Amino acid sequence: MNISVLGCGRWGSFLAWYNARNGHTVINYGRENSPSYQQLKIEGKNKWVALDERITLSSDLQHSVESADIIIIAISSQELRSFFSEIVKFSYKDKIFVLCMKGIEAKTGKRLSEVAIESGIANDKVAVWLGPGHIQEFIKGKPNAMVIDSHSRELNNQLIEVFKSDLIRFYIGSDIIGTEIGAATKNIMGLIAGGLDGMGLATMKGALMSRGAREVARLIGALGGNELSAYGLCHLGDYETTLFSEHSHNRKFGEAMVKGEKFTHLAEGVATAHATLALAKSVGVDVPLTSAVADIMNGASPKEVMERMFARDIKTEFE
């Protein structure tokens, strides 16, 4: 297959490497002036992967879009709508778009597949590729399991045949609402996990895993999805890589946040927390953990927020 990966940062460059490893012809697109693109252009590699003859590095968006059968997008979730406004200037209607991104659009509360569809992509041409896994582990040959989901079971099956390998076992998604919401909100739980680490309260991660998944399940159900999706690979199944891993940007951000330190890498959970809180309010769902994150990011004392959480009314365990 001819596959274009739009985005050449950490995840995008890995996806280019992975698809070339699978035998596909790959273009890895990046903006000419981006540091990630310049590093690949000058050195032919970054700290994670090296380009080879199967991968063409390009800053020509039109060529990258129009020469592909499948277009994978791996950029910041908050930039997706503006990026699609550029893509739709070209011949794109026969292309399949796969979003390898986790987030909720902060300004609208929309899932990323909804952003794609509102931008002009047909709903049977949009899929998401989500689930656990860190590049640092994949490139060492350590396998993991992930999910492909869309509005079309046929498209799911087609893409799994294209992307499957001995490195990633794919499962067929059947609830795109739950898959996307679960994947986005696990980053919020990563922020909380980092906060617990920073406060010396890692013992509370068990409670976080239990109550976090329940909070997200309620939200998924209220949005029309299947609550069980919160307990699948895209949410609970991704907790190990997000709540515990040394590679998790969201966990590191949360730890730095409660310590009053700076963390400069992208942590998608920051924008997602505010978007999720607004989304939950719109459907009348209580999301205390998400609210706690938003309060801390707005300047509240982590210690005071923790005390408030413990003072909440007593609930039954699965409420």
Residue 165 sits in a domain whose CATH number is 3.40.50.720
pLDDT at residue 307 is higher than 90? no
Averaged over 25-30, what is the pLDDT? 98
Question: What percent of the chain has a predicted confidence (pLDDT) above 70?
Answer: 99
Spatial separation of the C-alpha atoms in residues 18 and 165, rounded to whole Å: 9
Q: Give the lowest-confidence range in 11-20, 84-93, 163-172, 266-275.
A: 266-275
Averaged over 304-316, what is the pLDDT? 83
Residue 89 falls inside a structural domain: yes
Question: pLDDT for 190-230, tens place per residue?
Answer: 999 999 999 999 999 999 999 999 999 999 999 999 999 99
Whether 72 and 104 map to the same domain: the answer is yes
Range 113-144 burial, b when 16+ CB lie within 10 A, else e: bbbbbebebeeebbbbbbbbbbbebbbeeeeb
Averaged over 9-25, what is the pLDDT? 96
Domain end, chosen from 107, 137, 172, is at 172
Domain end, chosen from 112, 140, 172, is at 172
Whether 27 and 135 map to the same domain: the answer is yes
Provide the pLDDT for residue 58: 98
Name the pLDDT band for 258 (thresholds 50, 70, 90): confident
Whether 42 and 159 map to the same domain: the answer is yes
pTM of the model: 0.94
Answer for the pair 32, 59: CB distance below 8 angstroms, yes or no: yes
Whether 165 and 209 map to the same domain: the answer is no
Domain end, chosen from 110, 143, 172, is at 172
In degrees, rounded to 5, the angle at the alpha carbon of residue 11 between the alpha carbons of residues 64 and 197 is 160
Per-chain mean pLDDT for the chain: 94
Residue 177 falls inside a structural domain: no
Name the pLDDT band for 298 (thresholds 50, 70, 90): confident
Whether 186 is catalytic is yes
Name the pLDDT band for 266 (thresholds 50, 70, 90): low
pLDDT at residue 285 is higher than 70? yes
Spatial separation of the C-alpha atoms in residues 212 and 216, rounded to whole Å: 6
Q: How many domains does the chain have?
A: 2
Averaged over 288-296, what is the pLDDT? 92
Provide the pLDDT for residue 52: 85
Q: Which domain range does residue 13 map to?
A: 2-172
Name the pLDDT band for 248 (thresholds 50, 70, 90): confident
Whether 12 and 111 map to the same domain: the answer is yes
In degrees, rounded to 5, the angle at the alpha carbon of residue 223 between the alpha carbons of residues 219 and 229 is 60
Whether 55 and 137 map to the same domain: the answer is yes
Provide the pLDDT for residue 57: 98
pLDDT at residue 104 is higher than 80? yes
Could you tell me where the DSSP H helices lie in 44-166? 61-66, 80-87, 112-118, 135-138, 153-163
Averaged over 285-294, what is the pLDDT? 93
In the chain, the amino acid numbered 194 is G
Residue 179 falls inside a structural domain: no
Spatial separation of the C-alpha atoms in residues 63 and 57, rounded to whole Å: 11
Catalytic: which of 95, 186, 205, 252? 186
